[in-house]
Amino acid sequence: MQELLKRIESKDITVGVIGLGYVGLPLAVEFGKVGVRTIGIDIDSKRVDLLNAGVNYIQDVDDAELKALVSAGTFSATTDFSSLKHIDAVCIAVPTPLSKTKDPDITYILSVNSELQKYVHKNLVVILESTTYPGTTRELIQPALEASGLKVGTDVFLLFSPERVDPGNPVYQTKNTPKVIGGVTENCLKLGMAVYAHVMDELVPVSSPEAAELTKLLENTFRSINIGLANEMAIMCSKLGVNVWEVIDAAATKPFGFMKFTPGPGLGGHCIPIDPHYLSWKMRTLDYKARFIELASEVNAAMPEYVVELVGGSLNKVAKSVNGSKILLLGMAYKPDIDDVRESPALDVYALLEAKGAKVDFHDPYVSKIKFDSHFEESIELNMETLGQYDCVVITTNHSEYDFKAIVENSKLIVDTRNATKAFKNDNIVRLGAP
């Protein structure tokens, strides 16, 4: 172990990153930037070919930095898992979605497990970053590593360190976001921290992988529950004839005991709509019902339908029905100024409106096309003449490059789910959570 530790500290190692998406690629680039030999492994050959040509596809990665790393040979990508034979530390950042029944889908982790069993070797540090239920690291990864006869903590070293990526965040990115890390043994933790010390400004060690796994779930469960409260408050304020945005802004002036969360058309992104269900599922296996989690999920999941009802009611007031109306959604990404549509509530709003007979288009400056079931739809070209052709414009994502003054002035009817038009008093605006 001491020899491996010295090599890690001197950067005389090769780091592997499995999964080259929103989490894995920025992490791989950080390792490459400090001069650590880095190999990215992904099952998508198109991604691998793009990366090896120096072409970037992740918004949070600098194009020039990636190209320089590829040119220098510091970073390369492959679909060949046998590369693990030459890797000293590997970070696993594969997707962990939910099944249709809201149960954890750990298919990708199990696939990585099967490859680890083939190529695990002595003095390999394995770090799982994929969000999952408490116990995954110890119950799934450890047996796969030890099936070869190697012992975790002595021959190989296993940890869990949850990804904390916030796509598009201009302040907190991979390097300056504190990194929680929990090892199966003290030796595991020591080596894992040495690996991450090269690329992270702050490390936060915890006593076990289970503590690290739960840390990530608590973070996003906290957000899910509070967003659920804000969403329910929006519905209640609408019924009471009060503006929820005014109420939230007023409450946010309290300098203690309150944290501001805002309502919207639903939850999006890979983490917040999904992570709490991992904890809820785990607790069901222990005969315990996570009531807060399930109630918040119920409220948040119902918001796209509520938005569609709001659109329907707004159209009714101008003697139109949803069926046959031309409706434009502005913004399909799950939050402003990014190109990520994973779990975006705008997708549900689109599908629900279309199911009710509306003729739906969308525009998003970051998303050129989206796959709906078996077909693709493309973002329309947005101009002020275009807006006037629609019976209703629904603001589903408040991208900063939208000129909301011009949008308000040139639209017949607007349903604003993000309070993006708060500066305008026009009669053609209907806001979520307002009278």
Instruction: Determine whether 271 is an active site residue.
Output: yes
Q: What is the maximum span of the chain, computed from C-alpha positions, in angstroms?
A: 77
Of 20, 140, 145, 43, the residue nearest 92 (C-alpha): 20
CA 287, distance to chain mean position in Å, is 29
Angle at 397 between CA 433 and CA 55, to 5 degrees: 160
| CA–CA gap between residue 378 and residue 369 (Å, rounded) | 4
Q: How many C-beta atoms lie closer than 10 Å to residue 406's C-beta? A: 12
The answer for 29, left when phi > 0, alpha when psi is -120 to 50, beta otherwise, is alpha
Chain position carrying tokens 């109630």? 295
Distances (CA, A) of 145 to 25, 80, 119, 133, 181: 24, 19, 9, 19, 19
Backbone angles phi, psi at 15, to 5 degrees: -105, 135
Instruction: Report yes or no: 114 and 152 within 8 Å, Cβ to Cβ.
Output: no
Out of 188, 237, 271, 392, pick the active-site residue: 271
Residue 251 and residue 105: Cα distance in Å, rounded?
A: 39
* Cα-trace Rg, the chain: 24
Residues annotated catalytic, as ranges: 271
